[in-house]
């Protein structure tokens, strides 16, 4: 593949690619913001600002900083069922950047006491000041998520942790009124999606 030698937005192919990539990170639209919680945030409501469009990930005016220590815990309820495929975590290129992320599914109203439980998946994070690193989830474990908890237990050595942007990639299915029957189906099967999937090399995780 040739490297493009031009600035962003100059050539149409990259613009379309960026739009598609942005759409893939659209799960922030499916968060129930009324019930979104961030524990140990220094400024009330700041945790919610990190869930925003992929195109706005580099807006450094919006961020959350931890308060008493370096830990942060997000409780993220969705407006339907989500299949979570990937996560981006963007911070500063310094010691305030979170160093570890632990994901829990379907445990509403988690507290720091609850983080003693075994998470579904743990990631060692690298410093990512530009929002370029994608952490793929073990999709089988995150295929029917109506509530996601993200625990950031430590950073790279600072007293507090700062996060500028969290990107969530995946598919969303509308919640059914009848909570009894939980159906798993694709919201709208688009044949074009399937063609892409065959070409895209899949990363397989052996747990």
Q: Residues 25-84: pLDDT tens digits? A: 999 999 999 999 999 999 999 999 999 999 999 999 999 999 999 999 999 999 999 999
Task: Give the domain ranges of the chain.
Answer: 38-174
Residues ≥6 apart with Cβ < 8 Å to 15: 9
Return the higher-pLDDT residue of 169 and 200.
Answer: 169
User: What does the DSSP assignment read for 189-200?
Assistant: --HHHHHHHHHS
On whether the pTM is more than 0.85, the answer is no
Beta strands in the chain (DSSP E): 37-39, 64-65, 72-90, 100-105, 121-124, 135-136, 145-152, 162-163, 165-174
Q: Residues 108-166: pLDDT tens digits? A: 999 999 999 999 999 999 999 999 999 999 999 999 999 999 999 999 999 999 999 99
Q: What is the rounded (10 degree) CA torsion for 78, 207, 130, 145?
A: 0
What pLDDT score does 187 carry? 53
Q: Are strands 72-90 and 165-174 parallel, antiparallel or unpaired?
A: antiparallel
CATH number corresponding to 38-174: 2.60.120.470
Which of 105-119, 162-176, 192-206 is the least confident region? 192-206
How many other CB atoms sit within 10 Å of the CB of residue 9? 9
At residue 185, does pLDDT exceed 60?
no
């Amino acid at each position: 593949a040739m490297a493009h030698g031009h600035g962003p937005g100059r050539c149409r192919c990259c613009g379309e690619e960026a739009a598609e990539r942005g759409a893939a990170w659209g799960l922030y639209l499916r968060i129930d913001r009324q019930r979104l919680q961030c524990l140990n945030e220094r400024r009330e409501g700041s945790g919610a600002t990190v869930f925003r469009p992929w195109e706005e990930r580099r807006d450094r005016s919006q961020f959350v900083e931890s308060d008493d220590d370096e830990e942060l815990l997000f409780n993220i309820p969705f407006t339907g069922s989500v299949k979570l495929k990937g996560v981006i975590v963007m911070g500063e290129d310094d010691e305030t950047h979170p160093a570890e992320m632990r994901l829990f599914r379907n445990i509403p109203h988690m507290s720091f006491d609850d983080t003693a439980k075994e998470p579904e998946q743990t990631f060692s994070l690298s410093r990512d000041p530009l929002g370029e690193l994608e952490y793929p989830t073990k999709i089988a474990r995150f295929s029917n998520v109506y509530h996601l908890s993200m625990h950031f237990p430590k950073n790279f050595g600072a007293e507090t942790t700062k996060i500028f942007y969290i990107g969530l990639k995946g598919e969303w299915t509308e919640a059914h009124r009848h909570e009894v029957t939980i159906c798993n189906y694709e919201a709208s099967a688009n044949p074009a999606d399937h063609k892409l999937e065959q070409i895209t090399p899949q990363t397989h995780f052996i747990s």
